[in-house]
Structure 1
Amino acid sequence: MRRFFGARIGTCACLDAEGRPEYRSRMAFHAVLFDLDGTLLDTLADIAVSMNHALQSLGFPAHEVDSYRRRVGWGARVLAEKSLPEDHHDPDTVARCVQLFAEYYSLHPNDHTRPFEGIVQMLAALRTASVPCAVLSNKPHDLTVSVVAQSLEGHPFVAVYGDRSGVPPKPHPGTARDAARQLGHAEDEVLFVGDSDIDMQTAVAAGMEPVGVTWGFRTREVLHDAGARVIIDQPAQLLNLLEKTNGHQ
């Protein structure tokens, strides 16, 4: 077993983007920016139920929960477009679908949502080690703040960002760079941890280190192709990665 600043964790078998078992970097990383859906929280069921409610309210068929893995990550508008029938992508229908989805989801954001296994322990270890953390999601901002407060209570984040009017969403790097300033570190000292191609693209564009996770909504291949420098299979491996790059071995 290894220890990360006093937190006892299992041995890590981190893989880089080429599938190699050892990760090497000349950089030391001192802060972490997390995606939310599919990375910290398993939100898929609540998102699916909410979008299916919107679709059925408009007279369209619902989809299987698991099929939403391919639809989430780009924000509510793209989610609606990917869920509506192809011949009903007119602006009015999409806008109404987004509205119905947002209304229902705002009332049911945590019916089934839970942290992934090992997330609570990982965040506790980061807090103990005084590693500053933030959250960046394409979920609407107010809902992002609410879900984090309810589902990750007791884990203080330096900043929590969702999709805001007039601000480009991920993969635009602007808000990620804002987060780095709030974290108090240069972009290249921040690990951007996410489960999607959107997250990896954001990290690359912002000059951060892209870390993909396989327990979320995308495959290892998608993460690799989107620019992941390292891919991990368990939350504890993030602690080992920080330990390795900061020389605590």
Structure 2
Amino acid sequence: MTRAAVFDVDGTLADTNHLHVTTWWEAFRQAGHDVPMHAIHRAIGLGAHDLIDHLLGDDRDREQDDAISAAHKTLYGTYFDRLPALRDAGRLLRTLASDGWTVVLATSAGGGELSALRRAIDADDAISATASADDVAAGKPAPEPVRHALELAGAPAGRSVFVGDTVWDMRAGTRAGVTCVGLLCGGIPRADLTEAGAAVIYDDPADLLARLDGSPLGGTG
């Protein structure tokens, strides 16, 4: 029976969360909103319009939302040629694929952004499919992105693992019925990831790879 190893990308496989924080902060500033960077950091992992809604609330001019999202996309796009993968991210995915896992990405990124992230990770040979937030009606923390990833993999939730770095990832995975592995490299505290549903936590992809045998992703099957 197929087993799926589902991965978030930003902050999990690529060291990009703080680039998103800075570019969202500037996009909000250009639209006349003073949003603290620490608040933006805690919202990273949500889809663009959910992030704006989370940070600005209902008392706002919603006609600005598309412009704010477009500004963030443009600002972030200036980094596409140098997005940094986290240490051993590609090696982890290739190891899992060789161990019999079907590796699927579950991300809100798409288009040129997703292409740039995949170039940075450099493990396309190990990635079977990508589930984008554009493919589902609701993004994380709703379970739909993870469920869609499982459908692409043809794997049941009970034999699948979701690896992410935010509370939104952990909540989405828990609601989808998969085992959740949290990584600290996105900057979210261990206690928050645990409370949101992480079964076990590692520092980053390199730490997970080094301790793979004892993790929920250990062994072949």
Taking structure 2 as the reference length, the TM-score comes to: 0.81
Structure 2 partner of 1:74: 46
CA distance in structure 2 between the partners assigned to 1:164 and 1:88 by the alignment:
26
Structure 2 partner of 1:239: 212
Q: Does 1:175 align with 2:145?
A: yes
Number of aligned pairs?
216
CA distance in structure 1 between the partners assigned to 2:26 and 2:63 by the alignment:
17
User: Residues 124, 221 of structure 1: CA spacing in aligned structure 2 closer, same or farther, 3 A cutoff?
Assistant: same
Of 102, 112, 119, 2:73 maps to 102
CA distance in structure 2 between the partners assigned to 1:78 and 1:243 by the alignment:
31
CA distance in structure 2 between the partners assigned to 1:172 and 1:120 by the alignment:
27
Q: Does 1:142 align with 2:107?
A: no
Gaps of 5+ in 1: 1-27
Q: Does 1:92 align with 2:73?
A: no
Structure 2 partner of 1:48: 21
Once the two structures are superposed, residues 190-211 of structure 1 have per-residue CA deviations (whole angstroms, 9 ceiling, x without a partner) of 1111111111111111111111
Once the two structures are superposed, residues 84-135 of structure 1 have per-residue CA deviations (whole angstroms, 9 ceiling, x without a partner) of 6x79732123332122222333x32435521112223212322333422011
Once the two structures are superposed, residues 138-176 of structure 1 have per-residue CA deviations (whole angstroms, 9 ceiling, x without a partner) of 33x325532333212333311112221762112222232
Structure 2 partner of 1:16: none
Say if 1:180 and 1:186, in contact at 8 Å, map to a contact too. yes
CA distance in structure 1 between the partners assigned to 2:167 and 2:137 by the alignment:
20
Of 120, 135, 140, 2:90 maps to 120
User: Residues 243, 223 of structure 1: CA spacing in aligned structure 2 closer, same or farther, 3 A cutoff?
Assistant: closer
CA distance in structure 1 between the partners assigned to 2:97 and 2:218 by the alignment:
18
CA distance in structure 2 between the partners assigned to 1:42 and 1:210 by the alignment:
20
Higher helix share: 2
CA distance in structure 1 between the partners assigned to 2:217 and 2:103 by the alignment:
16
Structure 2 partner of 1:216: 186
Say if 2:8 and 2:169, in contact at 8 Å, map to a contact too. yes
Alpha-carbon shift at residue 188 of structure 1 (Å): 1.0
Q: Does 1:37 align with 2:7?
A: no
CA distance in structure 2 between the partners assigned to 1:235 and 1:144 by the alignment:
25
Gaps of 5+ in 2: none
User: Residues 224, 87 of structure 1: CA spacing in aligned structure 2 closer, same or farther, 3 A cutoff?
Assistant: closer
Say if 1:34 and 1:136, in contact at 8 Å, map to a contact too. yes
CA distance in structure 2 between the partners assigned to 1:114 and 1:146 by the alignment:
13
CA distance in structure 2 between the partners assigned to 1:199 and 1:122 by the alignment:
19
CA distance in structure 1 between the partners assigned to 2:103 and 2:84 by the alignment:
19
Larger Rg belongs to: 1
Say if 1:43 and 1:112, in contact at 8 Å, map to a contact too. no
Instruction: Report % sequence identity.
Output: 24
